[in-house]
């Protein structure tokens, strides 16, 4: 029976990303599922990272350095 429940869960669509934070400069952090977060700047350049802490640091560094999230290490 657990195998049927697991396969049914795999066919359900992923829920829509949930907004976690928005900065005054327009950057956003969205929870996209599991432990993944999408960080986007005000120009909609985005990067997905594992963990909320890493997402917060990426958003902070991107704004501080005036860079797009995907341009940072």
Separation of alpha carbons 70 and 33, rounded Å: 19
Query: pLDDT digit string (tens) for 6-42?
Result: 444 455 556 789 999 999 999 999 999 999 999 999 9
Q: 3 or 15, which is more confident?
A: 15
11 occurs within a structural domain: no
56 occurs within a structural domain: yes
Residue 51 pLDDT > 70: yes
39 occurs within a structural domain: yes
For residue 48, the number of C-alpha atoms closer than 13 Å in the C-beta half-sphere is: 7
Number of H helices, E strands in the chain: 2, 4
| Domains in the chain, number | 1
Q: Other C-beta atoms within 10 Å of 14: how many?
A: 8
Would you list the DSSP string of 34-72? TTEEEEE-TT--EEEEESHHHHHHHHHHHHHHT--GGG-
Assessment of whether the complete model's pTM goes beyond 0.85: no
2 occurs within a structural domain: no
Domain that holds residue 40: 16-71
């Amino acid at each position: 029976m657990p195998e049927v429940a697991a396969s049914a869960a795999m066919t359900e669509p992923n829920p829509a990303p949930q907004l976690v934070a928005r900065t005054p400069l327009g950057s956003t952090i969205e929870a996209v599922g599991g432990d993944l977060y999408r960080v986007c700047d005000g120009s909609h350049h985005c990067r997905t990272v594992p963990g909320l802490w890493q997402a917060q640091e990426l958003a902070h560094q991107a704004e501080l350095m005036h860079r797009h999230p995907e341009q940072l290490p």
